[in-house]
Structure 1
Amino acid sequence: MSQPQTNLNPQKKPTAMDRFLNGIERVGNKLPDPFFIFIYLVAFVILLSWAVGSMGVTVEHPGTGEELPIKSLISEEGLVYILSSMLDNFTGFAPLGLVLTMMLGIGLAEKVGLLETAIKRSILNAPKSFVTYAVIFIGILGNLASDASFVLIPPLAAMVFHAVGRHPLAGLAAGFAGVGSGFTANLFVAGTDALLAGISTEAAKNAGLGEIVVTPVDNWYFMIASVFVLSIVGAFITEKIIEPRLGTYKGKAEKALEEANPLEMKGLRNSAIAGIVYLGLVALALFWPDSPLRNEDGGIVPSPFLDNIIPIILFFFISVGVAYGVTVKKITSTKDIPKYMSEAIKDMSGYIVLIFAASQFISYFNWTNLGTWVAVNGAEFLTSINMTGLPVVIGFSILVSILNLIIFSGSALWALLAPVFIPMFMLLDYHPAFIQAAYRIAESTTNVITPLNPYILIVLAFMQEYDKKAGLGTLISLMLPYTIIFFAIWLVLLIVFALLGIPFGPGIGVYLP
């Protein structure tokens, strides 16, 4: 989409922050290609599993109490696992199917020109400050679509920024920050709330302090406030740190940004009609009496509807894309639809190759039990320093932020930590929902810099459409300010809620009732 360029603004005198981030970028971009980074990580895990496993190290899973050995990949069992799991690791890697499925629909809409026309019509003349807030805000709310938001929002945000004459990488960074670092916040109760609450409730049973139930709404008030605070902070970071550092975008877009013509406007109208009809049918199916899309109690969180949101989003984009393409004569026969989808998937070829190596590393790391071993020992260390009051809660969040760099799944990490920390903090009279909120802050903010986040690879691929020279260091240097500042401000918000006695959810305070 663009000619190669550097990311730095040569006309701006670098600040201390610029020099720090530029150093990270230089070091990061000197790293090998991400494919080989994961290959080297595979080799490291193999050697580490052999070294630790040969010492007979075991770890007790805090949830099940099972004694887990560190299994060596340099063994008969390990060799068989490496060979027998290789294909399943790749084809069964959940983000791969999600990304490719989403790109079938989004790619169709993009190739026929729908996304460009929608941007030109709705945001091209919007105030600069509004665009930034909107991107962060929508990115945060995007977790309603679960991991699909990682694939959908960052590239659209880049297109929005480029359309209004701003640096597309700043838009991509803002969108990724909203989706990743703000992943757990929302104005609505989402599937994440139900998932984490269930784990917290189970862990609370082990404290022996009575029947404490953590519900999906126990962090709701705090997460609503978080959406607005993070939107403001994210816009500030984008406009005051990220964009000045990037400077003016010098790349050339493949298409000139012109006002939408009458035929495009007609296509946009027809796609909107198709989208409304589709959403109406989905709503009818969802709210039909005894709908199979709702759970046994008739609720939506959790439900088969949310569990299967990806196909629903896919068919939405196909519906609006086809409606637009037919109207503007981009689609004149049924053969054109798979043709545009194929073009979209071709653009993902580099990501597919990368995922082959990444999926092996993540699978081997989990199989050896090294992740559990690191998490449990980190938890025991924090317990051993014997701090009290809010400092220990802050220390807990810092530990989570570190552990999230090696265990990306928020539910998996909480399943490991909750059985250790929920009883410990309950003995200090803290409500488990409060500790859960502290966990969610740290787990979310580091999502955009952890190398085990598989969506970093897809965001990097989108980034390289605008800057061929961009590498992993470029991406991390862009995202690090969001991680650091989001984490600090979010912790301050947690402390404000705690000190002022503001409920985190209906009837939920810092301490046990």
Structure 2
Amino acid sequence: MPRLDTTELTLADARGVSGRILQGIERVGNRLPHPFYLFLILAGLVALASAVAAGLGATTLDPATGEPAPVQSVLSPEGLVYAVTSAIENFVSFPPFGLIITVMLGIGVAERVGLLGAFMRGAVLSAPRWSVTFVVVFVSLMGNLASDSAMVILPPLAAAAFLAAGRHPLAGFITSYAAVVAGFSANVVPAGTDVLMSGITTSAAQIVDPDAEVSVLANYFFFATSTVILAVVITFVCQRFLEPRLGPYTGPRDDADVQRIDAAQRRGLLVAGIAIAAYIALVALAVLWPGSALQGEGGQILRSPFMSSIPVFILLFFLVGGVSYGIAARTLTRWGQVPQMMTETVKELVPFVVVIFTAAQAIAWFSWSRLGLLLATSGADLMEQTGLGGIWGLMLFSLFVFLPALLLASGSALWTLLAPIFVPMFMLNGVDPAYVQAAFRITDSASNPLVPMNPMLPVVLGLMQKWAPKGGLGTLFSLVMPFTFVIWAVWLLQLLVWGLLGLPIGPGHGLMIDG
């Protein structure tokens, strides 16, 4: 395999067909309005479409009652009254709103006291030489716990770990970056993404079933398993294809980044580990104790107060770990720091809250007007006629998501747009919304490295140029692209196997709603 001279790579690497496609996507994507305006425009389109459909006498069937349900116009006097009187309720009751803020309060504390950073640094830089690649990939896949900051923290650490092991640091950087970004949905610990996606899916599912609820753990079995599968696959791609392509490293050997965790951080990690283990044991005891109030009717766990309160338990998980670490590592010296850290975390969520206002209105109008139900029933009929329901329909849907995922950098914004159409459509064909959510997350996550509008790209490029001084966007895309398509292919294959075998994708969520 010919070696790649990374010192000569520039944006010109992207001049091929794939490069022209990515540049075209970048131009189109840059013309898209801010998500706030995007959802405002969508709300306007919903209002206009509802008026046209109502004027034409469009009618669908209410799946709950089987009775005819005419489309209602948002622009009618009744619709306008609904729009203004329900605006605040639509906003504050939008499921992702409270859920994501609750969970991020805990994750924010764990990140700011240094727990997440110390764990990642310790795991990557302390790995035995024979396991460096696998450990780097596995920890990088779990990087979504630290959200976008993982893109800045982990790839430089991986480069340093590879350099210390006598290997090409750029291989470590690219491999870690691919795992962090393309494998964003994979994790063995529920993260903020799980909370956000499940909230959006719940809102969409309630268009068909007002009592529908998609758990935070709805995709847990699938993505926890895929964390191990992807770790093996990405390790193979790195060692079999990327490193031979790069050849031996002959550049400067700056070991400045190889800063192992100090005694205070080690002590913090030990104490946090013990505290988290004790917390998990106590929660398990509280849930499994006979007659526990956290159990559902008949001692059920899947449909119980515990499952409904998972975001609160995740919040406490990170708070217990973060506070324990901070006290032991002495990064938390006074109790006033905890609410201060929470406040800083909420400040970072303000852009999300702003977008949620218009997104909540658009989805609420879509549901109230019955346009969502009309599209869902029409799409479900088409699926039934073509036989493209079930797992094969989900595979087709996952392929469809690829292009819009490249255009819209925010996965949550894209899912907010797509979920109200496709979740009800699949539900009317008996498919559990958790499976639809997983099919979306696969493609949205795998395509992340190729999104030209990613706001973190300039930072990532700057960090990469330490090991490829003349490398540009083309360098990054050309090196990470094989990882993207391999991850996507493996995930799609896993989804296909999961569906064909009828495996639950998360607790209480099989392929079919009644399955």
TM range (shorter): 0.5 to 0.7
Mapping 1:81-480, distance limit 5 Å: 81-126=82-127, 129-131=133-135, 133-134=137-138, 156=150, 159-165=153-159, 166=173, 170-178=178-186, 258-385=259-386, 394=392, 397-398=395-396, 416-419=425-428, 421=429, 442=439, 444-445=441-442
The normalised TM-score by structure 1 is 0.64
Match of 1:13 in 2: 13
The code of the aligned residue for 2:282 comes to L
Residues 293-336 of structure 1 deviation map (CA, whole Å, 9 limit, x = unaligned): 22333343233222211111111211221122223333222222
Structure 2 vs 1, CA of residues 227 and 104 (structure 1 numbering), >3 Å: closer, same or farther?
A: closer
CA shift, 1:263, in A, is: 1.6
The code of the aligned residue for 1:134 comes to F
Distance between the aligned counterparts of 1:224 and 1:393, measured in 2?
20
Structure 2 vs 1, CA of residues 123 and 493 (structure 1 numbering), >3 Å: closer, same or farther?
A: closer
Asked if the contact 2:47/2:74 (under 8 Å) is kept, the reply is yes
**More deviation, 284-293/404-413:** 404-413
- Secondary structure of the residue aligned to 2:60 is strand
Asked if the contact 2:291/2:299 (under 8 Å) is kept, the reply is yes
Distance between the aligned counterparts of 1:481 and 1:97, measured in 2?
38
Asked if the contact 1:158/1:171 (under 8 Å) is kept, the reply is no
Distance between the aligned counterparts of 1:174 and 1:295, measured in 2?
37
Unaligned runs of 5+ in 2: 1-8, 160-172, 210-218, 246-255, 405-413, 463-476, 505-509
- Cα RMSD over matched residues? 5.2
Asked if the contact 1:169/1:463 (under 8 Å) is kept, the reply is no
The normalised TM-score by structure 2 is 0.64
Residues 15-52 of structure 1 deviation map (CA, whole Å, 9 limit, x = unaligned): 53343234223321221222211111111111111122
Distance between the aligned counterparts of 1:393 and 1:310, measured in 2?
29
- Secondary structure of the residue aligned to 1:59 is strand
Distance between the aligned counterparts of 1:24 and 1:161, measured in 2?
26
Match of 2:31 in 1: 30
Match of 1:5 in 2: none
Distance between the aligned counterparts of 2:443 and 2:329, measured in 1?
43
CA shift, 1:107, in A, is: 0.8
Distance between the aligned counterparts of 1:76 and 1:480, measured in 2?
52
Structure 2 vs 1, CA of residues 409 and 34 (structure 1 numbering), >3 Å: closer, same or farther?
A: closer
Distance between the aligned counterparts of 1:94 and 1:365, measured in 2?
16
Structure 2 vs 1, CA of residues 228 and 268 (structure 1 numbering), >3 Å: closer, same or farther?
A: closer
The code of the aligned residue for 1:13 comes to D
Residues 200-220 of structure 1 deviation map (CA, whole Å, 9 limit, x = unaligned): xx9xxxxxxxxxxxxxxxx99
Match of 1:146 in 2: none
Distance between the aligned counterparts of 1:43 and 1:356, measured in 2?
14
CA shift, 1:123, in A, is: 2.2
**More deviation, 440-449/62-71:** 440-449
Asked if the contact 1:52/1:70 (under 8 Å) is kept, the reply is yes
Structure 2 vs 1, CA of residues 31 and 328 (structure 1 numbering), >3 Å: closer, same or farther?
A: same
